[in-house]
Amino acid sequence: MKGFLAFLVAGGPLMIPLGICSILALAVIIERFLNLRRSKILLPEVAQLVDTIDGPGDVDLALKILDRNPGSLANVIRAGLESRHLPPEEAREIVQDAGRREAKEIERGITALEAIAGVAPLLGLLGTVTGMIRVFRVIALIGVGNANALSGGISEALITTAVGLSIAIPALVAYHFFSSRSAEIVSDMEHLASTLLRKLRRMRGEEDRLS
């Protein structure tokens, strides 16, 4: 423990923002890993509604099922069902708007990983610069003969660079992983919404013929 604390101290003041970056990145990764799951967002009970809805009589039951299974997909499906009596283009716009809102919610936090992946190495580079400035200041005062006096600035330069990269690399990998997963989920949601709109358009056509 003492060695770890000494390591942090040797990195200089920039270890504080680097530590904050590491905590934020870890928190986002854990949160997205737990919540950005296909089965958690595209609930099977809700996804199956798109296949089971076959007529106007199924709508009320579908809305009750949506009430019991709230979530992003449920909000999009509800937007489609509640706008079923509107003109097709207007209903499509309402569903697309709901889809865009839910897509933003699904992608929440992922951009933070991208920002951390960009900021962390820059903080490490800044630590390198400040460390080397410290080294040159010592050289200007006492020359190059005192290795102990120079080691502090060199340690600061190397440690912050290493820590910055150690934070940025996992954050960048996690960003691409979660971006890919969210894109797949949003694509599946769009497919289900399009299927629902086609069914609702067909149902409306049948109602118009009967009336």
Encode pLDDT of 55-111 as tens digits.
777 788 888 888 898 889 999 999 988 888 888 888 889 999 999 999 998 888 899
Q: What tens digit of pLDDT does each residue of 100-151 get?
A: 999 998 888 899 999 999 999 999 888 888 877 776 676 666 665 555 655 5
Nearest CA-CA partner of 185 in 70, 28, 36: 36
pLDDT at 163 over 80: yes
d(CA 3, CA 166): 18
d(CA 129, CA 157): 7
Q: What is this structure's pTM?
A: 0.81
Residue 118's pLDDT is 94
Nearest CA-CA partner of 99 in 38, 14, 6, 190: 190
pLDDT above 70 covers a percentage of the chain that reads 82
**Residue 210, C-beta contacts closer than 8 angstroms, at least 6 positions apart:** none
